[in-house]
Structure 1
Amino acid sequence: KINREIFYRIQEVLQNKDDDFTKHDLQKLVYLEAVMKETMRLYCAVPIIARQIDVDVKLKNCTLRSNSTGIIGVHSLHRHPLWGPDANEFKPERWLTPGALPSNPVLYASFGIGKRNCIGKLFGMLMMKIALAHIVRQYQICGNIHNIECEFDVVLKPVTNHHIELKLRS
């Protein structure tokens, strides 16, 4: 369903021409961007963020001491109940519906948090969008997202082989 929706939205933008994507075309592919963000929310490449704590931070039940390391579990953050009762479900529509996202922007940390987030975020998103738009335009992607088993390491990696099939569109 999602694969088909992305394809139709790309066709809408390009009006069935064989032209390449322009900057303006890419800006119109909001559904594709929503799919990318939702994928990165559920399958974040870097599942933890470590930060050096500079000053004591008093929390409700404990104090984080200065000169210690704080670890943020991005995987858990992206499945926090503030995402709603469907936090574990793949729903790109949440990125398109005003008010559907959590009000705290820190709850989405696929590219890090704050002033030390990924310097290549915009470039990475643009390259992903271009690559996916070209792939989906030419191929139907087949695979089962529910069969992916991942292992937490420095980066998130699949434990078992996960095969996808690309079928040439006619």
Structure 2
Amino acid sequence: MNKSICIATLAVLTTLASTAALAAGNHAGGHDDAIGKPGIASKATRTVNVDMTDGMRFNPSSIDVKQGETVRFVVTNSGKLRHELVLGTEKELREHYEVMKKNPEMEHADPNMVTLAAGKTGEVVWQFTKPGKVDFACLQPGHYDAGMKGAVNVARPTDRSTRN
């Protein structure tokens, strides 16, 4: 009977993991979509420090980058609660958040995110391949609703060779 329970539990966990991956935008083709793709640490052109607080805020909550830039986000949880920084479209983040509310103990590790216990520091290295806005948020239950979100504004690179 214990073997049956283990198999059933594994099936449920596999389904939850698949649902979460799809909600987070982790499709078979990876993350090379509207938000960019995982970056290579050695190619990071700069480091941006981001602090997560129990006031349900990111500091900074708005970050400007250039299209094509690879950024190393060094993320620190200065609070006493568990927090995370997840990059995605607003739609992906909302969908993933709904999954997290139903499964608050779910753990996952994707290249577009870092989940940190109180007082810990981690990093995300990301290349922003398309201009526009890439959202980020903490998807721990209650945190997104409390306003723990921000945006990366991706600007087109200026091409001086086309100016007269």
Does 1 or 2 have the higher relative contact order (CA < 8 Å, sep 6+)? Answer: 2
**TM-score, with structure 1 as normaliser:** 0.22
The TM-score with structure 2 as length reference comes to 0.22
Give the structure with higher Rg (CA).
1
In terms of fraction of residues, the more helix-rich structure is 1
Which structure carries more strand by proportion? Answer: 2
